[in-house]
Structure 1
Amino acid sequence: MEANEPNDVIIPPNSGILASQSNSTVVLRLRCKTKEEFVTWKEEYENLNYVTYRVLRGIQCTGSKVLLKKIYRCQHNTVLNYHKVQKHSRKHTNCPNQMAVTIKAVVKESRSADTFLPEYPTVVRITGAHNHRIQSAESLKFRDVGSEVRGKFIDFFKAGNGPSHALELHKRDLQEQYDEDYYQVACDAAHCPSLRWVQHFYDQLFKAEYGDFTKEKILESIISRVELLKSEGMKITCSTLSDDFSISLCTPIMERVHTLESSGSICFMDSSGNADRYNCRIFLIMTDSSVGGLPLGVLLMSSESEK
């Protein structure tokens, strides 16, 4: 059942009680006593109800009586940043659904008339009905990626997989797990993120681990790698001009191709771009043979400029 009404909510088990409800408002009392506990509850609630909330505004609390006081909005009610964005995103439907949260401080001796204290110190008030279909593919594709999926992609990256290959592996696992229901799961970003998200997540992890790569650091890394391959007997050279570089490489298999008679009479070149994040160009020098094209050498360049 889709939670198209504010009182059609699923409460995570053993986390709280339903204090009151009406046609437009649902009030929950939770056992959460800290901000961290509420964040965990909120993530579980969003997963159960297929919704995502963003902070609309918050009130600074001293902690003596109230630990946290915030109002969340449905993510399908986007807020414009007039300094940067002048247009709502595609997911904007001006959804009126909101969640107001107050975590009350629990003290030993309290004169509060709140009968739910001290067992249920958190008050969650959900108002307004969603004006969009919650479990439609159009809504699900905007959900946040789950923590388990994030951890899985981190393991993929640590194993040496790039963003595209990691996403392919994840989709294969989903196909094996859900079989005929795969296409229903694949449209939910919480379980199957987009390639754009995976690439961005990969870049974030790379930056946190190694920092930003400047051209100077790239050249230093390339030169050291070329010298290492030379010491291992590889036929490779590297030329630099300002911040650009050019690498020529001939592997042992390519050396064997040079012994063919056709290698001295026929030669052609195949090129490709967008090989990495720095948009390097790869030129594969090839010759013809009875089994098709065979490689003679490789040129790797950071620029196609003739200067």
Structure 2
Amino acid sequence: MDIESQNSPQFFSWDSLPEQLKSILPLRHSYLIKNFNVLSPFQTTENFEIPQFELDAFVDIDDKEKAREWFLSFESKSKTTMPESRRYEIKGKKVLFREKRHCIHSKLVKEKQGNRELKRPQSSRLRNTNCAATIHLRLELCNIELSHPLEVNLRFTHNHVVNSAESLSFRRVNGEIRGKFLELFKDGHSPASAMYDYEDALYLSATDEQELLVLLADRATDPDYDYIAKLFHKYREMALGDRNGTSMFKRLEEVVNDYNNSGHGKAILQEYDSRTGKAFILCVVTNLMNRVHERVLQSGELCYMDASASFEPLNTSITLLYTSCMVGALPLGLFITSDESEITLEKA
């Protein structure tokens, strides 16, 4: 179905759009289509046919923020990622918003990156396919009073399967998904446990197997572990600061106070200070440990120690104190220290 109007654009609600446009254009908008030209499909080496077309249209959007939201919805619905080709200087006198973007599989991405070293040179995944797909958005002040001010020039001429697992693996992580991982980190998750928890939720949210496969393949909805780990490190630096820094101990002090107020037990903290030679010590006695002290008589006479280390980057030592009785070993206390010297253990 080709649409070409020399006199005036044709009005389309989303429901009345051609099927090819319905699959990529955001909902809850109407469109004035000036030109819709269906091109010959592109044939891949695997004999897949990729639909191609050109679209010149106007959208019922009169605000630059809404224009950005429309574009993000377009990326999400079309399963494409289109970074900016060039940035225009907007003074706001004639043009309120203007962006020209290209497919992430375009050679322009490689040209902008220059001779940057590849992270995985042996990988068979190919991002640069010389894709020619582009989109140009323009919102002019002279059109702002019209019903459909935002001009869209789309060249949907991809030379790769847009929704293949390989193409989807290059997409940018959705901002909402990024926020979900930050919330998981705040709840105490590590990168690995956050990923497992999030993917469990994906499995439960999918309505069928096909939807689940797309969700898991799409990096926008299911980030790779490298991204999650880097996001965690950024979050930790932002929330805790440097290791052994003031921010980290302030946060730990808050956790200790919350634990003491929770009624689950008692904890006491000594901050690490390399200048004064003060060791880091964190002692914890849970309610169970308290009951062992009160009710097991030999806890005051018989005590065993079990120390372990190398659990995390700071290499703190974790020492468990316990006693024995007829049922086996029972815990008496736990302390975490920055070293295992005699002075530190005595103070703990």
- The answer (yes or no) to whether the contact 2:38–2:54 under 8 Å persists in 1 is yes
Counterpart of 2:94, as a letter, is: K
- The answer (yes or no) to whether the contact 1:280–1:301 under 8 Å persists in 2 is no
Within 2, Cα distance between the matches of 1:235 and 1:176?
A: 38
- The answer (yes or no) to whether the contact 1:281–1:302 under 8 Å persists in 2 is yes
Within 2, Cα distance between the matches of 1:261 and 1:230?
A: 23
Under a length normalisation based on structure 1, what TM-score does the superposition of the two structures give? 0.69
CA RMSD after TM alignment: 4.5
Aligned partner of 2:25 in structure 1 is 11
- Structure 1 residue 287, shift from structure 2 partner: 5.0
Aligned partner of 2:220 in structure 1 is 190
1:162 paired residue among 189, 196, 207: 189
Counterpart of 1:188, as a letter, is: D
**Percent of matched pairs sharing the same residue:** 20
Describe the shift of the 1:130–1:226 C-alpha distance in structure 2 as closer, same or farther (beyond 3 A). Answer: closer
Superimposed CA distance per residue, residues 6-30 of structure 1 (whole angstroms, 9 cap, x where no aligned partner): 9896222434244232537612312
- Structure 1 residue 220, shift from structure 2 partner: 5.3
Superimposed CA distance per residue, residues 279-305 of structure 1 (whole angstroms, 9 cap, x where no aligned partner): 452413355756565444433245689
SS in 2 for 1:53: coil
- Structure 1 residue 131, shift from structure 2 partner: 3.2
Counterpart of 1:27, as a letter, is: L
Within 1, Cα distance between the matches of 2:119 and 2:38?
A: 31
Superimposed CA distance per residue, residues 240-273 of structure 1 (whole angstroms, 9 cap, x where no aligned partner): 4416742142515446378547984754323342
1:126 paired residue among 126, 129, 154: 154
List runs of 5+ in structure 2 lacking aligned partners.
1-19, 40-51
Aligned partner of 2:42 in structure 1 is none
Describe the shift of the 1:303–1:132 C-alpha distance in structure 2 as closer, same or farther (beyond 3 A). Answer: farther
- Ranked by relative contact order (alpha carbons within 8 Å, sequence separation 6 or more), the top structure is 1
**1:1-307 maps to which residues of 2 (within 5 A)?**
10-13=24-27, 14-18=29-33, 19-23=35-39, 26-31=54-59, 32-77=61-106, 78-79=109-110, 80-82=112-114, 85-87=116-118, 92-107=127-142, 118-127=146-155, 129-150=157-178, 152-153=180-181, 160-162=187-189, 164=191, 165-178=193-206, 180-181=208-209, 182-198=212-228, 200-201=230-231, 212=241, 215-219=245-249, 234=266, 236=268, 238=270, 240-242=272-274, 245-251=279-285, 253-254=288-289, 256=292, 260=298, 264=302, 266-274=304-312, 279=314, 281-286=316-321, 289=324, 294-302=330-338
Under a length normalisation based on structure 2, what TM-score does the superposition of the two structures give? 0.62
- The answer (yes or no) to whether the contact 1:28–1:124 under 8 Å persists in 2 is yes
SS in 1 for 2:218: coil
Superimposed CA distance per residue, residues 52-86 of structure 1 (whole angstroms, 9 cap, x where no aligned partner): 11112122233333333332122234344459x34
- Structure 1 residue 88, shift from structure 2 partner: 7.7
